[in-house]
Amino acid sequence: MTIAYLINQYPKVSHSFIRTEIAGVEACGIPVARFAIRACRGELADEADRAELEKTRVVLDVGIFGLLVHLVWVLFSRPLPFFRGLWLAVAVGWGSERGLLNHFAYLAEACVLLHWFARSRVDRVHAHFGTNSTTVAMLCRELGGPPYSFTVHGPEEFDKVRAIALPEKIDRAAFIVAISSFGRSQLYRWCDREQWEKIHVVHCGVDSAFLDRSPLPIPNEPNLVCVGRLCEQKGQLLLLKAARQLAAENVEFHLTFVGDGELRQPIEEAIAQWGLRDRVKITGWASAKEVQRQILAARTMVLPSFAEGLPVVIMEALALNRPVLSTYVAGIPELVEPGVSGWLVPPGCVESLTATLKTALRAPSSELEKMGKTGATRVARSHNALTEAKKLAQLFQTLNSEL
């Protein structure tokens, strides 16, 4: 049995958890072929991601001519499946956020993959994210390709359920994976209860590089770190407002943003405007080792998101015995318990965030270490990458035995 993993962009800086999951599935003895719709070559900072890129076939690398050639090949070699796929593309594309033209492109991409899957002897397809990668997997199945399953992360899929035809994708899938109990509950909302048994929770996980490290003491320096793409939903601008208030109250702190993204320029402008250059810095994209170093140099990892699934960086920070300050959003409360493994604040509330940052900065190191240890135990129990990959491998094997 060979599993094809299909992702819109892979490898990608923010998708290291997929790389870890693939390694875990392969460790279970299941070969995995990697496929991406498009590459994300420019921002790869980690050597492991660059190595993964060498193993990945990218659909759009065939160019427009290649897409048309594969489209025509399927049209003439299997006309009935082709017109069924065309009808499905029109049905889900009509009124969608991407429109019909993009769905015709997805159909052409599905034709490319149909050929590649056959040559690679792919038995099953697993897509990550319920957006366009799963659309392509669904269309490929309609053309006569292998059965598909997919992992839903949120929040994007839950923000536009009808626009991405999520109910249709659930109906046609062999099984669906949610990364948290919250995510599973949202999927329950959008399918018939007869299909609930197809929906399983498989957590994103962290590997031995985080789980097997000996705990390092909490630093005395008042360092805070925020790791993630610089974008509105991660709440970094709100964190910066809180930092401005801390500075106005002469609270000692140093804040490091690890990441990059569309919000970098506004954040840099705010840092300069509010006189925070001596207290706040941005590293840009960083390797896994550098992310670890930055987390370990901090007393607390802060992620004030107001739209999330369940961020892997929270697992990484807790695995490194660092408490986490985050928000009551989606699956985050399933891992971060206030006063036990960190703190949670209402999303979007700068006042609560500022007050809790003061608490974290002033807490004794012994208290922070106790929180970090509790968090590390929870991550080891529920977010071990190999353990979670075994659950997914079992789903693949069960599907294979049933077909």
Q: Give exposure, 229-246, as e/b (b: 16+ Cβ within 10 Å).
A: bbbebbbbbbbbbbbbbb
If you classify domain 208-382 with CATH, what class do you get? alpha beta
Fold of 3-205+384-402: Rossmann fold (3.40.50)
Confidence (pLDDT) at 167: 96
| Residue-range domain boundaries for the chain | 3-205+384-402, 208-382
Q: What is the C-alpha separation between 206 and 203, in angstroms, rounded?
A: 10
pLDDT of residue 44: 74
pLDDT of the chain, 403 residues: tens digit per residue? 899 999 999 998 778 899 999 999 999 999 999 999 998 776 676 788 889 999 999 999 999 999 999 999 999 999 999 999 999 999 999 988 889 999 999 999 999 999 999 999 999 999 999 999 999 999 999 999 999 999 999 999 999 999 999 999 999 999 999 999 999 999 999 999 999 999 999 999 998 889 988 999 999 999 999 999 999 999 999 999 999 999 999 999 999 999 999 999 999 999 999 999 999 999 998 888 999 999 999 999 999 999 999 999 999 999 999 999 999 999 999 999 999 999 999 999 999 999 999 999 999 999 999 999 999 999 999 999 999 999 999 999 887 656 5
Rounded to two decimals, what is the model's pTM? 0.94
Task: Give yes or no on whether 3-205+384-402 and 208-382 have one common fold.
Answer: yes
| Cβ-based neighbour number of residue 217 at 10 Å | 10
pLDDT at 95: 82
pLDDT single digits (tens) 290-337 = 999 999 999 999 999 999 999 999 999 999 999 999 999 999 999 999
> What is the token pair recorded at 287?
């390797």
- Tokens for 191, please give them: 């399918």
